[in-house]
Amino acid sequence: MITTLSELQVYDKSLLPIADKVLAAERLSFKEGMQLFNTKDIPTVARLADIVRERKVGKKAYFVHSLRLSQTNICYVGCTFCGFQRKFGEEGVWDYELSDVWEYIKTHGHPELTEVHISSGHHPKKDWQYYLDLTAGLTERGLQVKAWTAAEIHHFTKITKPRMSYKEVLSELKDAGLVAMPGGGAEIFAERVRKKIAKNKVNSEGWLEVHRVAHNLGIRTNATMLYGHIETLEERLDHMMQLRNLQDETAGFFSFIPLAFQPDNNDLAKELKKTEFTTGLDDLRNLAIARIILDNFDHIKGYWIMITPELTQISLSAGVSDIDGTIKDERIAHASGAITELGMTEASLIKLIKNVGRVPVKRDALYNELQVY
């Protein structure tokens, strides 16, 4: 591991004070975070991020056997960046009853499958008991249920009668078998942006409160950020800072996952009329800065579905310590134009990790190590 500034070889000399703080494991300020966003010395930013990564996990890189379950694409929220959502009767709509879910699990399940990751549409007519039965049924089938974004938890409070609180909803889900939550629905916390891209979704304060409540109930969660659309670099960094503050308070987040905006099949991309959105360099910079700024998160995840397996492999030398997993049947990102495969094999993930000198670690939804390769 690099331990001195001379070993680091910083090209942008204005980064030397920041590099010195990173080497000393000291926290960076917002101003220093913006220096990282504005420098052209991306190699130095990547090396600093990798110092933080190695300090936390050594040579290990994690993956999980995961199945994506999106039991419906019916949604009333109308986020402008989403190509996944459908209304009743539209072409391409689906809506699984519980029997359909059990059949789906039979079709896609296998002995190595550990977690079911659920993120879906905000269905206006499904009742609360459906979600409890779904969670319980998957748990009874021996699967870890990592489910329901904060936006969905907020939606559940609207469909319960009498209306339940976040704590009551999460407590009932936990009793049904929920072990962890994904980090979706965060988008960008800046309300200026949310009002334009997700005005009917839970606001940033509500998103953070759902995760605060989950953490206080012993439910660990992840956190995301959707970037590369209309947000500013300052708003990206502010998003990270708010997550860092909540993690200081609760220590309940596992990982942070930056999600690159997919510019197909959605109204936002049509409105912006841009030909270029995120680039590989932008993706790597985001991941690296997240690793440096979010010093209290155990993992930064390179989500290969959105940034490609090739770039994810490079990101393992830019602060990333988790590459998600086999995934199996991802639909949400692909509905908006993701060009990657719907899933990857364990062998492919292991090869991806080993080829950059990292040690593959198969984990479960709670980051328990199942096998070190």
Residue-wise pLDDT tens digits, 17-36? 999 999 999 999 999 999 99
Query: Cβ(12)–Cβ(37) under 8 Å?
Result: no
Q: Is the pLDDT of residue 12 over 60?
A: yes
Query: Cβ(117)–Cβ(331) under 8 Å?
Result: no
Across the range 307-313, mean pLDDT stands at: 92
Residue 185 has a pLDDT of 93
Q: Is 173 helix (H, G, I), strand (E, B) or coil?
A: helix
The owner of tokens 């939606």 is 155
Task: List the single range of 65-69, 150-154, 189-193, 335-339 with lowest mean pLDDT.
Answer: 335-339
pLDDT band at 277 (very low <50, low <70, confident <90, very high): confident
Backbone torsions φ then ψ of 77, nearest 5 degrees: -75, -40
Q: Is the pLDDT of residue 270 over 80?
A: no
Report residue 330 as tokens: 């991802």
- pTM as predicted: 0.93
β strands within 30-147, DSSP E: 60-64, 66-69, 115-118, 144-147
Query: For the chain, how many residues are written?
Result: 373
Query: Cβ(85)–Cβ(121) under 8 Å?
Result: yes
Q: What is the DSSP letter of 234?
A: H
Q: What is the CATH number of domain 61-372?
A: 3.20.20.70
What per-residue string of b and e applies to 84-105 under the rule 16 or more CB within 10 Å gives b?
Answer: bbbeeeeeeeebbeeeebeebb
- Alpha-carbon distances of 322 from 57, 106, 163, 302, 353, rounded to whole Å: 10, 27, 37, 6, 10
pLDDT band at 83 (very low <50, low <70, confident <90, very high): confident
Nearest by Cα to 207 from 172, 232, 175, 181: 181
- Alpha-carbon distances of 117 from 177, 265, 355, rounded to whole Å: 13, 23, 27
Strand 299-300, strand 253-260: pairing? parallel
CA angle 181, 182, 185 (to 5 degrees): 115
Residue 65 has a pLDDT of 94
- Helical spans, DSSP H, in 109-197: 128-140, 150-159, 166-176, 191-197
Q: Is the pLDDT of residue 330 over 60?
A: no
The owner of tokens 């407590």 is 171
Nearest by Cα to 134 from 121, 148, 122: 148
Give the CA count within 13 Å in the CB-facing half-sphere of 347: 0
Instruction: Give the residue extent of every domain in the chain.
Output: 61-372
pLDDT band at 184 (very low <50, low <70, confident <90, very high): very high
Q: Measured between alpha carbons, how far is 146 from 336 in angstroms, rounded to an integer?
A: 23
What's the one-letter identity of residue 133? D
